[in-house]
Amino acid sequence: MTSSNFSYADAFSRNLGWLTKGEQLQLQNKKIAIPGMGGVGGAYLIALTRLGVSKFHISDMDIFEQANFNRQTGAFMSTVGRQKVDVMAEMAIDINPDLEIKSFGKGISNASGESNIDEFLEGVDLLVDGFDFFALDVRRAVFKRCHELSIPAITCAPVGMGAAILTFLPDRMSFEDYFKMSDHDTEEERYIKFLIGLTPRPLHREYLVDPSYVDMKNQKVPSTPMGIQLSTGLLVTEALKVLLSRGEVKAAPHYQLYDAYRGVLRKGYIPFGNANPIQRLKYYIGRKLYSKLSQASVYKSNAVSMSIMEGIIDLARWAPSGDNVQPWRFEIKSERKLIIHLPEIENNNPYEFEQGRPTYLSVGMMLETMKMAAASYGLSLRWKLHEDVVWDGRAQKIDVNFRKLKEEKRDPLLDYVPLRSVNRFSYQTKVMDDVTKNILSDEIEDLFDIVWFDTPAQKISFARLNARATDIRLRMKACFKVHQKIIDWNAGDSRDKVPAGAVGMDNFSLMIMKRAMQNWSQMDFMNKYLGGTILARLQMDILPGYKCAGHFALLWKKGGKKDLAEILQAGEKLQRFWLQATKQGLVLQPSMATICFSYYADKEIDFSNGQKSLANKAIRLGHDFDSLLGGRMGDVIFSGRVGYPGKKRSPERSIRKKIQNLFL
């Protein structure tokens, strides 16, 4: 059908019933200004066009990019690099060829002597706000002029998986009076005032799963297509009521919020807008939250601005290490060579059994991460132990060389590197199916046998073994010193320790634990006379040990003592196993303490500084662990529990040191 065959009456006939014919004709002659053709603006234009509005002024100086794909109506591969106003005008005209649309492709300027705001608002019946959240200066200027010209204006913001709407009518409270922004405010202060005014009831906060993506300083915040579509429905409905003088329109300081994720509608009235004492209190709270979010966003790195070697290291630093110590340091020798420096193994750390096996497994996991990162840059990676390396516990060096590949090869597990983490809380009891088990086994089958313990009886047996290992380590002074050093009691993510909130205990238990860990005498007294390990064993081992899909153990296919190179290779396989689990939607917690104390007992090593009771506990632990493994305890390289994440998740996690702190 050509434009000459277009019939307005036919095109919008299905609106009738909800609209009268007279109302439809009124809409046909209304003119709406939409500043911004991005997320909400583009959606507003299309929805209003389908409603039958036939005159528009639109503005935007931006082009479409792939980063727009999750939410913007005009964002397609075919439109990347094109002006947003051009694309959206074409889409609207393709719906209604008789559309009268005036585009402002250079945007709206509020500069003195150069302002085109009056031209943009000329003959307009309504302004609907499609500005980017951060475009506050020009938004203020446009809304101020709308108020002076008696033009109704609506702002509707997508917030998470919901939307918040405010309507500003002539002779009612203005945008300026409601938000109380000032020319003397800092940029940060304006953002906070705008946010608390838009969302007086922040319904979205409880399901923001990763605040580190909220980067207010760099004007990058997460968005959803649901928020855009909900905003579109709310705004276009409000626009219909305003344009047709139909139904009740509650102007600011009335507000309306709807959150689809929570299924909650909130409507309210805020006398004096942001000047209201409650809003002022929210403002001060918002400043603290803004500061916290700004700090949380810091560790999201951008390898684009780095060299290739730095980009590889930037990903490699997310490999796991015992207690988040990150023992590696990097010395870049050239564009194709670097040396990894490792510290001496701590002789007084009981967890570094078998001359530092846990550390070297971590190093192997880091090498595998480097290998995957290098391939994404079109490089292959080869590593070898430095010539003078022997496994005697002293400092180690690993030489790493890169070669050019014919083409870049992105490993499908690479995207999961920053997502993989330890989850110490209870999981779902949903059992993994055989397909998932086989996918995990495929990652390690050339080096390891994997044994699953996923029946209720097996889970309880493994959980009890882990609890007995916890009982041993909480009664050892040497372990206590390690715990003191690695637990971070400050709220928030930790760059080089384990956050207290992520250890798997409730707040009451953490309070007791924090007090007991002030010194060994308090911990020892609690262990001896107050049943100090019972609560920890219950919360850290018994309950989560049952509430999971199951436990597993990785066993060498060929037994015998393994050299350092083989341990590193085992770490490489282990990283792929863990990343594959993450890809499958699983979470994991290592249970290395059980292996550690069983090893000491098996090798008759005095790890307890003469405490016979602990040595005897370790002997019994090792015997029962060996029985559970069918007599193959000597072959075990790694064990843990695995499952689908439960409702309880740590608000904190171990992140990583800044990349500049990892260079030698």
Give the per-residue pLDDT at 1. 47
Instruction: State the chain's mean pLDDT as an integer.
Output: 91
**Beta-bridge partners for 16:** 19
Check pLDDT > 70 for residue 30. yes
Query: Which DSSP state fits 427?
Result: B
Encoded amino acid at 490, one letter: N
Q: Are 374 and 380 in contact (CB under 8 A)?
A: yes
Assign 188 a pLDDT band (cuts: 50, 70, 90). Answer: confident
Assign 296 a pLDDT band (cuts: 50, 70, 90). Answer: low
**What are the tens digits of pLDDT across the range 198-242?**
988 888 877 887 777 887 777 888 899 999 999 999 999 999 999
Encoded amino acid at 197, one letter: G
| Separation of alpha carbons 67 and 62, rounded Å | 13
**What are the tens digits of pLDDT across the range 467-498?**
999 999 999 999 999 999 999 998 788 999 99
What is the mean predicted confidence (pLDDT) over 251-271? 94
Q: Are 316 and 369 in contact (CB under 8 A)?
A: yes
Give the per-residue pLDDT at 209. 77
Burial class of residue 425 in the structure, from the number of CB atoms within 10 Å of its CB (0-12 exposed, 13-18 middle, 19+ buried): buried
Residue 508 has phi, psi (to 5 degrees) of -65, -45
Give the per-residue pLDDT at 298. 44
| Separation of alpha carbons 8 and 397, rounded Å | 76
Preceding amide of 651 cis, omega within 30: no
Give the per-residue pLDDT at 563. 87
N-term to C-term CA, the chain? 69
Which letter, b or e, does each residue of 132-156 get, where b requires 16 or more Cβ atoms within 10 Å of its Cβ?
A: bbbbbebbbbbbbbbbeeebbbbbb
Find, among 393, 440, 397, the residue nearest to 575 by Cα: 440
Domains and CATH numbers, the chain: 3-182+223-271 (3.40.50.720), 308-662 (3.40.109.10)
Check pLDDT > 90 for residue 269. yes
- How large is the C-alpha radius of gyration of the chain? 31
How far lies 513's CA from each of 85, 459, 479, 538, in Å? 60, 26, 14, 14
| Separation of alpha carbons 196 and 182, rounded Å | 15
Residue 182 has phi, psi (to 5 degrees) of -135, 150
Q: Are 290 and 195 in contact (CB under 8 A)?
A: no
Strand segments, DSSP code E, in 88-214 are 100-104, 126-129, 153-159, 162-168
Place of tokens 């050093």: 485
Find, among 144, 147, 145, 143, the residue nearest to 155 by Cα: 143
- In this structure, how many other beta carbons lie within 10 angstroms of the beta carbon of residue 318? 21
What is the mean predicted confidence (pLDDT) over 574-602? 96
Assign 303 a pLDDT band (cuts: 50, 70, 90). Answer: very low
Assign 392 a pLDDT band (cuts: 50, 70, 90). Answer: low
Check pLDDT > 50 for residue 300. no
**What are the tens digits of pLDDT across the range 346-356?**
889 999 999 89
| Separation of alpha carbons 327 and 662, rounded Å | 9
Least confident of 50-64, 306-320, 401-415, 647-661: 647-661
List of long-range contacts for 86-89, beta carbons under 8 Å, 24+ apart: 87/37, 88/37, 88/41, 88/42, 88/45, 88/46, 88/58, 88/60, 89/58
| Separation of alpha carbons 651 and 664, rounded Å | 32
| Separation of alpha carbons 373 and 410, rounded Å | 8
Check pLDDT > 90 for residue 64. yes
**Beta-bridge partners for 64:** 80
How far lies 622's CA from each of 329, 469, 472, 611, 629, in Å? 35, 10, 12, 17, 10
| Separation of alpha carbons 247 and 527, rounded Å | 70
| Separation of alpha carbons 181 and 189, rounded Å | 8
Encoded amino acid at 306, one letter: M
Give the per-residue pLDDT at 610. 83
Q: Are 398 and 342 in contact (CB under 8 A)?
A: yes
Counting residues of the chain whose pLDDT is more than 70, the rounded percentage is 95
Which residues are within 8 A (CB) of 358 and not within 5 positions of it... i.e. 6 or more apart? 322, 351, 352, 592, 596
Highest mean pLDDT among 282-296, 612-626, 648-662: 612-626
| Separation of alpha carbons 562 and 113, rounded Å | 78
Let me know how long the chain is. Answer: 664
